[in-house]
Amino acid sequence: MRRRSGGKFFTWLGIWSAIEGTEYLFGSLADLGLLPNWLLASLPYVGNILSFSVVVIALLAFLDLSQDKLRLFLQGAIVVGLAIAVAGVALFLFTGSSFKIMPYNHLLAAISLTVLAIVVAVPKLCRRFLVLPNRTVLSLGILLFALEAVYGNLSLPLRLPSPPEILDPLGFAVLLFCFGYVAVQSSEMSSSPTTQVLRRNIGRQNR
C-alpha cells in the first residue's frame, strides 16, 4: 500500500469495523431484551445514522487503495453517498422513517461494489486501478466480500430473497482477515534483516 495512504486506509477500515460491530452488538442485545429503555429508545436513530454512513466509510476506505479512473469514480460515489445519507437522516428525523431513501443507499453500494468486483476479477484492471501489496490474497478477499454485499444490497430494492444473516458478517470477516494477513506479512518483511540491509544500502547510494 502507498505509504501516504496506508494509515488513512486502516483508519477508515477501523471505523467501518466499529460501525459493523456496533450494529450487530446492539441488535443482538435488543433482541435479547438486555438494553435499558433509554438506550432502546435511541436505537432507531443510531441505527439509521450508521446504516447510511457505513456506505460512505467503506467507499473512503477503498478510495485509498484506488488510482486513476477508479479513484474518480469512488470520489463521485462518496459525494452521492453523502447526499443520500443527509437526505435519509433528515427524512427519518422529520417522519420517523427513511424507507423511501434507503433503497438508493443500497443501490449505490451495489453499483460501487459491482465496479470494484469487476476491477478485482480482471488482473489487468486490478494492476491498473488498485494499489495492493498482495494482489492474490486481497483480490480474493475483496471479490468474495463484494459478491456477497452486492446481492445483500440488491435483495431489498429488487425484492429478491434475503440471504442468510450469517453471510453479511462472514463476508466482512473474510475481508478483514485478508487485510490483516497482508498487514502482518508486510510488517514481517519490513522488519526482516534482509530488508533492513537493502534499505541501508539504498540510503548510502542516495547520499
* Count of C-beta atoms within a 10 Å radius of residue 106: 21
What does the alpha-carbon distance between residue 66 and residue 128 come to, in Å, rounded to a whole number?
9
Q: Of 20, 54, 70, 68, which is closest to residue 176 (Cα–Cα)?
A: 20
Q: Considering the domain boundaries, does residue 201 fall inside one?
A: no
pLDDT tens for 145-195 read: 888 888 888 887 777 787 787 888 888 888 888 888 877 776 654 554 443
Total domains, the chain: 1
Q: Considering the domain boundaries, does residue 92 fall inside one?
A: yes
Q: Considering the domain boundaries, does residue 113 fall inside one?
A: yes
Q: Would the pTM of this model clear 0.85, i.e. be above it?
A: no
Range of the domain at 46: 3-186
Q: Considering the domain boundaries, does residue 196 fall inside one?
A: no
Q: Considering the domain boundaries, does residue 191 fall inside one?
A: no
Per residue in 131-154, is it b (16+ CB within 10 Å) or e — as a string? bbbbeebbbebbbbbbebbbbbbb
Q: Considering the domain boundaries, does residue 154 fall inside one?
A: yes
Q: Considering the domain boundaries, does residue 145 fall inside one?
A: yes
What does the alpha-carbon distance between residue 35 and residue 137 come to, in Å, rounded to a whole number?
39
Contact by Cβ (8 Å): 7, 1: no
Residue 28: pLDDT band (50, 70, 90) is: confident
Q: Considering the domain boundaries, does residue 30 fall inside one?
A: yes
pLDDT at res. 7: 67
Range in 75-79, 118-122, 129-133 with the lowest mean pLDDT: 129-133
